[in-house]
Amino acid sequence: MAARINYSIQNSLWLLNPLHSKATTHFRNRLKFRQNLFSLSKGAVFCSYATNTDKSGTEPADPFVLTTPLYYVNAPPHMGSAYTTIAADAIARFQRLLGKKVIFITGTDEHGEKIAAAAADGGSSPSEHCDVVSQAYKTLWKDLDIAYDKFIRTTEPKHEAIVKEFYSSVLANGDIYKADYEGLYCVNCEEYKDEKELLENQCCPIHLKPCVARKEDNYFFALSKYQKLLEDTLTENPDFVQPSFRLNEVQGWIKSGLRDFSISRASVDWGIPVPNDNKQTIYVWFDALLGYISALSEDRDQPSLRTAVSSGWPASLHLIGKDILRFHAVYWPAMLMSAGIGLPKKVFGHGFLTK
């Protein structure tokens, strides 16, 4: 059966592209399934699939690894997070129909200033707050019949161990240094902003809230060192970022000049301590992005970066919203280059649902 279906991941992603208004009709006309392809259980539709094995009966070496963002738990799940996850679930099921071994990763990002503030507003500790909201995501994915394989929480011990090992690897490569920084900071983006990209009254263009002036003594990642490598990567592999107009955005950011970015906070307690300085915690993106790798680590194993990477990395597809494209298509590849780890195969930034 799998051999009869000739669609690839590009075809699946094509359906998410808002420029293709006839996507649904095209998909319906091209795919013809046998009547018994689907089985019903509790009112939901589940896809059956063939196992992709060779003549010796062994599994293929490279699984199809698909990720959603690790959702930030400062607030409950919402329509936008459901949108990404439903789309990812459809792609994962389709890849299973092709006979591939799929590892579908989702989870929650649970560290940072916003989360500590949300917990305080609700009268609970950060840990209690994270437990409640993370469980709300799991409950919603169950209600929506999301067939994920891995659910990672960034508060898990195995994740912390892998983040610290990754940090130490990048530090050993000479790409982390300490410096003072002063600038306008968006708490919701967890990012310092250039004044030229802000709206009136120094408002973040995404969250429409004023950025706050901050001065901190933090650790920085030498992102600027990887400008030429990132430019070459996108030139040699134009499918790395999709759709094509998102690639244009990323290339524009890189060509305008990359600046080193802060990877720690001195003023935030709720986070993973910096290995060589317990007065600082690791910046949320330098922590959360590693969840895509730590999710691959089996609970029974002693957590290590090497073991996790050997369990399925690189990811075949990061499916994300357009608001976090810079972190996934610029910061993340450079971080991986520094640590000597292979890049994901594709980053797809979809648009927003509006209501």
Whether residue 332 contacts residue 339, with contact meaning beta carbons closer than 8 Å, is answered with no
Task: Specify the DSSP class assigned to residue 122.
Answer: T
Identify the residue with better confidence: 205 or 133. Answer: 133
Residue 16's pLDDT is what? 62
Write out pLDDT tens, residues 277-302: 989 999 889 999 999 999 999 988 79
Residue 132's pLDDT is what? 97
Residues near 132 by beta carbon (within 8 Å), at least 6 away in sequence? 124
| Phi, psi dihedrals of residue 258, rounded to the nearest 5° | -90, 140
Residues near 121 by beta carbon (within 8 Å), at least 6 away in sequence? none
Query: Which helix (H) or strand (E) segment is 265 a member of?
Result: strand 264-265
Average pLDDT of the segment spanning 113-127:
94
Buried b (16+ CB within 10 A) or exposed e, 65-100: bbbbbbbbbbeebeebbbbbbebbbebbbbbbbbbb
Write out pLDDT tens, residues 81-118: 999 999 999 999 999 999 999 999 999 999 998 899 99
Residue 108's pLDDT is what? 98
Write out pLDDT tens, residues 303-337: 999 999 999 999 999 999 999 999 999 999 999 99
pLDDT bucket at 196, cuts 50 / 70 / 90: confident
Write out pLDDT tens, residues 226-252: 999 999 999 999 999 999 999 999 999
Whether residue 76 contacts residue 136, with contact meaning beta carbons closer than 8 Å, is answered with yes
